Structure 1
Amino acid sequence: MAANSPAGSRSEQAVGAIRQSDYRALAEFRHTLRRFLAFSEAAARDGGLTPQQHQAILAIKGHGDGGMSIGDLADKLLVRHHSAGELVDRLVKAELVTRLESADDRRRVVLVLTPQAEAVLEALSAAHLEELRKTKPLLLQLLHSLP
């Protein structure tokens, strides 16, 4: 216990309240997420994309019709703006994304998927949804086991 931490502080009570079954559930939940991520990375590679390219085109598609900016993409991917810009450069070079002037604000550039990206993403998304359907019972069981 820290010298300036009162005995029985909230954090100590929370730590003391964690049961072995909670650790087991957290470990299994994390393992299940890692298995899904490993599946996702392999599926992206099998589809001819890097995992980061897959994440990017999925984020762009999921953003909707208004178009996604590089800043929006950086936020979704949890990367810095310049890293997202470099990724977009590679996506443009691979003919997966185009940059368009925004209809609402001519100063704003939005990212749009090409038909090639749409086709690859549709196949990957179908495989991911099927994997999630298989994993759903275990995830629900793990979530329900938490206090």
Structure 2
Amino acid sequence: MDKSDYQRLAHFRHRLRRFLRNSELLCQVNGATALQYQLLLQIRGASTCDWATVGELAEHLQSKHHSVVALIDRCEIMGLVERRPGREDRRQVEVHLLPAGEELLARIAALHQEEVKLLREELSLPGWEIKPLTAAD
């Protein structure tokens, strides 16, 4: 890798961290944590269904199963989600958004759109390709 590769990578990490920090603030102002927002977003957006299993959520959040269960517990207490027995496999639990969760998710997601647009434009500029490492590297 040469200097420009490191510069692009450093800039990408900076922009990613700035996006995440802004996201944390947007969530906080709207009465949620960043993790609660991510849970709602994954339920709504990461599955072909309008619900997700705890295992799917753990994978998408890159978190341990028990940590996701605790997060779901907190969101359930807040009236954002509810658990339902699996339709096809009763051993699985489906996590569904409730109307309050849908509304919170829509509000916070809308606030992210401008920053997402800027990131998309910036990171799709020519020269932003980061060369993959090879065995020689």
- The alignment's TM-score, normalised by the length of structure 2, stands at 0.87
Partner of 2:5: 22
Q: CA offset at residue 104 of structure 1?
A: 1.9
Whole-angstrom CA distance in 2 between matches of 1:71 and 1:145: 33
| RMSD (CA atoms) | 1.6
Tell me the distance in 2 between the aligned counterparts of 1:118 and 1:97: 9
Q: How many corresponding residue pairs?
A: 130
Structure 2 CA distance, aligned partners of 1:67 and 1:118? 12
Rg bigger for which structure?
A: 1
Q: CA deviation at 1:40?
A: 0.9
The equivalent position to 2:91 in structure 1, one of 96, 107, 117, is 107
Secondary structure, aligned partner of 1:68: strand
Deviation at 1:103, TM superposition (A): 2.0
- Distance in 1, matches of 2:90 and 2:72, equals 19
SS of match in other structure, 2:118 = helix
**Are positions 1:98 and 2:82 aligned together?**
yes
Identical counterparts, % of pairs: 37
Give a deviation string over 1:30-86, Cα, whole Å, max 9, x none.
101111111111111111100110111101111232631111111111111111111
Matches within 5 A, 1:1-147: 18-62=1-45, 63-65=47-49, 67-141=51-125, 144-147=128-131
Whether the aligned pair in 2 keeps the contact of 1:28 and 1:142 (CA below 8 Å) is: no
Gaps of 5+ in 2: 132-137
Q: TM-score, normalised by structure 1?
A: 0.81
More off after superposition, 132-141 vs 118-127: 132-141
| Structure in which a larger fraction of residues adopt helix | 1
